[in-house]
Every structure is written in structure tokens, then in C-alpha cells.
């Protein structure tokens, strides 16, 4: 099967795929999946919160936003050595990628960003793919991360442009796209996806997939999260999504972005092993391992490995999709800290629900 990467999917086409009969949808997605990926290989990644809580943003799903009263305790930036120890642990349980998350609106040049750059150099030298999710970044910051050996940068679109305004009021959709654009000016791969179960319509799910698939090239990785509703956040009473919705979302993402790694992310604790197996069949080929996903619960690695054994799945080796980036040491860097204080937008909309 020859697959051409399309960037002109319409919402109607995506909805038509999403609403196919489940048997036809899974068969189509699985067939497309097999043309670009080994169906028996799933990437295992670990998501580590390197700076927790106290975030000035108002993402309605997030327990790390300072304005919500949740159980999350704010913690300052981890040291490079602490991050290294966590990376070694992650590697020992079979993770090929470490994703480091900091609860920031955007990256500010200064000692904390220098610490992140050193952590990227350190983890890349452990032969793990390094990903960061640090909020909005400028082109110079993206170039400095690339030079340190960053493999991927995560910046989720979260939902459709229309529904995004119901979930976040402190920054705009275009800011998200601008950060992705800044990452694309480097060799770093793009990881961008979203969350279902926030009260959005099916049309919003399709709208998000249209926005992601319209990016040229497609993001190398698309995480599909099911909302984990956390007490104290505005979405605390949101009902869990049904497994069928997750399978439909994964399958549709796989069909419209055939070569992307589709990542089964938050919400796996609410899914049965059989439900997760259906997602793998429908084209999910990446999971996050470890007992925590930043601050929310995640299945135990032993349960994941039991499921892998039952299904005959193997963890993906690091740098399977793209070769390992070179690390340039700080003293040899061709970029310097510009002391940037970019003016990201301050949207004027307010959340109506």
C-alpha cells in the first residue's frame, strides 16, 4: 500500500472516518498502520515532571495551574543529577524516551533553562531519546535545545481551535502553532496532540485532527489523551470517555497521519487491557510508562509488561525512526542566551462554561 501524506483533510472527511462502523474503522486503521509501522512494536516512554505546579496558566484540565486548589504540591526545578538518576531508572524499565515536563507558560532564558539544556545533554548521552515540554519557546531557544541533543519537543494543540477557547483563556491557539513552527526550524521532531473528554463535541475532535494533519510535515508523534478529571480543577466532574471513543480517536489519527507515532497517553488507568489492545490494533504505537504521568496516575510498568507479553508486543528501540542527535557542549555552542522575553499573546476571550 502506498501512502501519500495528505495535508488537506477536511472536517467532513475526518468525521466520516471517525463515524465509520467500528469493524470497518479498525480494519482500515490497522491496514494503514501495517504499511508504515511494525504492528508488534510499541514505544515505551517515561514522562518526568522536572518542575511541578505553580503554573500561571489556566488550562481547565490541569492540576498544576496555581489558581486551582488541587493536591499537587509545587516543586522547584530538579537538579541535572536527579534527572539523570530518573532517566537511568526509566531506561532500566524499558523506556527508550524520557520526556521532561516543566509547568511553565513559556521558557525564560536564564539559569533554569541552562539547567534544562544540561539535562538534555546528559540524557542524550545515555542513549535515550530526549523530549521536552516546557511551554512556548522562541526560535533561538528551540535551536539551543536542538544543539544540546533534543530529539522531540511536545506542545499539544489540546482541542479544536474553537473548543480551545473553552478550556484555556491565558493564551491563544496561534501561540501553540507558532511554537511548533519554531521547533520546525530545527532538526527536533514535533510531538503534538490533545485531550478528549473535556466536554467537546465530536466535531472538535475532528477539528483538532484536521489542524494537526494540516501541519507540514505531520507531527512525528501525536499523543491522544483521555481526560483524567482531577478534584479542584474546573473539569473535576467531567465523566470519563468511553473506550470506543478512544479507539475511534486513535484509529482516525492513524488514518489521517499514517507515519506518525500515535501515543496512547493519559487515561490508561481507566482502560482495561482489552481496551488498550484494541487501541494498539487501531494504530497506537506508543505509551507512557511509570506510575505517574507528570502528576496524574498511570498503570504500573509490571502491568504494562504483562500486557506486552500477552499480546506479543516488543518495546521500540531508541532512535528507530530517526538517528541520534549530536550533543554540542555548552562551551562549543554557536547560540547564546538572548535574554528573550517574548510577547506571547494575551487573548481577551473568557471561558463561558
Closer by beta carbon to ligand SF4, 58 or else 139: 58
Active site includes 205? no
**Of residues 97, 99, 254, 268, which has the active-site annotation?**
99
**Of residues 171, 184, 263, 268, which has the active-site annotation?**
263
Active site includes 55? yes
Distance CA 234, CA 252 (A): 28
Task: Count CA within 13 A, CB hemisphere, residue 161.
Answer: 10
Plot region of 284 (φ>0 → left; ψ -120 to 50 → alpha; else → beta): beta
Closer by beta carbon to ligand SF4, 57 or else 109: 57
Provide the minimum distance between the beta carbon of 222 and ligand SF4 in the complex, in angstroms, as a whole number: 17
**Which segments of the chain are extended strands (E)?**
41-51, 97-102, 129-133, 152-154, 189-191, 194-196, 221-226, 261-264, 284-289, 292-293, 296-297, 314-315
* Beta bridge pairs of residue 194: 158, 224
Provide the minimum distance between the beta carbon of 70 and ligand SF4 in the complex, in angstroms, as a whole number: 11
Active site includes 279? no
**Of residues 132, 171, 176, 191, which has the active-site annotation?**
191
Closer by beta carbon to ligand SF4, 50 or else 119: 50
Closer by beta carbon to ligand SF4, 49 or else 316: 49
Task: Count CA within 13 A, CB hemisphere, residue 67.
Answer: 10
Provide the minimum distance between the beta carbon of 330 and ligand SF4 in the complex, in angstroms, as a whole number: 27
Q: Which residues bind ligand SF4 (CB under 6 A)?
A: 55, 57, 59, 62, 64-65, 103, 135
**Of residues 97, 131, 144, 171, which has the active-site annotation?**
131
Q: Compute, in degrees rounded to 10, the torsion defined by CA atoms 246, 252, 255, 259.
A: -50
Q: Please, are residues 87 and 126 in contact by the beta-carbon 8 Å criterion?
A: yes
Provide the minimum distance between the beta carbon of 64 and ligand SF4 in the complex, in angstroms, as a whole number: 4
| Site of grid cell 547560540 | 335
Catalytic residues: 55, 59, 62, 99, 131, 191, 263
Amino acid at each position: 500500500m502506498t501512502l501519500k501524506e495528505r495535508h488537506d483533510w477536511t472536517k467532513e472527511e475526518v468525521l466520516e472516518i471517525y463515524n465509520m462502523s467500528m469493524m470497518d474503522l479498525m480494519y482500515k486503521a490497522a491496514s494503514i498502520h501495517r504499511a508504515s509501522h511494525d504492528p508488534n512494536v510499541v514505544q515505551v516512554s517515561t514522562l518526568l515532571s522536572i518542575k511541578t505546579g505553580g503554573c500561571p496558566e489556566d488550562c481547565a484540565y490541569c492540576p498544576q495551574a496555581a489558581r486551582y486548589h488541587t493536591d499537587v504540591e509545587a516543586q522547584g526545578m530538579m537538579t541535572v543529577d536527579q534527572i539523570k538518576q530518573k532517566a537511568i531508572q526509566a531506561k532500566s524499565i524499558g523506556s527508550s524516551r524520557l520526556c521532561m515536563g516543566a509547568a511553565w507558560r513559556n521558557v525564560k532564558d536564564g539559569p533554569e533553562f541552562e539547567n534544562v539544556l544540561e539535562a538534555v545533554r546528559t540524557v542524550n548521552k545515555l542513549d535515550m531519546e530526549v523530549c521536552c515540554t516546557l511551554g512556548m519557546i522562541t526560535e533561538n531557544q528551540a535551536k539551543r535545545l536542538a544543539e544540546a541533543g533534543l530529539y522531540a519537543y511536545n506542545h499539544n494543540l489540546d482541542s479544536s481551535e474553537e473548543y480551545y477557547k473553552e478550556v484555556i483563556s491565558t493564551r491563544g491557539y496561534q501561540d501553540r502553532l507558532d511554537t511548533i513552527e519554531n521547533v520546525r526550524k530545527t532538526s527536533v521532531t514535533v510531538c503534538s496532540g490533545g485531550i478528549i473528554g473535556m466536554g467537546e463535541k465530536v466535531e472538535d475532535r475532528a477539528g483538532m485532527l484536521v489542524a494537526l494533519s494540516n501541519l507540514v510535515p505531520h507531527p512525528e508523534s501525536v499523543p491522544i489523551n483521555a481526560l483524567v478529571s482531577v478534584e479542584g480543577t474546573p473539569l473535576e466532574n467531567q465523566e470519563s470517555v468511553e473506550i470506543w471513543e478512544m479507539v475511534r480517536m486513535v484509529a482516525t489519527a492513524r488514518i489521517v497521519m499514517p507515519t506518525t507515532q500515535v501515543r496512547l497517553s493519559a487515561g490508561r488507568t481507566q482502560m482495561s487491557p482489552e481496551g488498550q489492545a484494541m487501541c494498539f490494533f487501531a494504530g497506537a504505537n506508543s505509551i507512557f510508562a511509570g506510575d505517574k504521568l507528570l502528576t496524574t496516575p498511570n498503570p504500573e510498568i509490571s502491568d504494562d509488561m504483562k500486557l506486552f507479553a500477552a499480546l506479543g508486543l516488543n518495546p521500540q528501540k531508541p532512535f528507530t525512526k530517526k538517528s541520534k542527535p549530536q550533543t554540542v557542549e555548552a562551551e562549543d555552542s554557536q547560540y547564546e542566551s538572548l535574554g528573550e522575553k517574548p510577547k506571547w499573546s494575551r487573548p481577551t476571550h473568557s471561558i463561558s462554561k
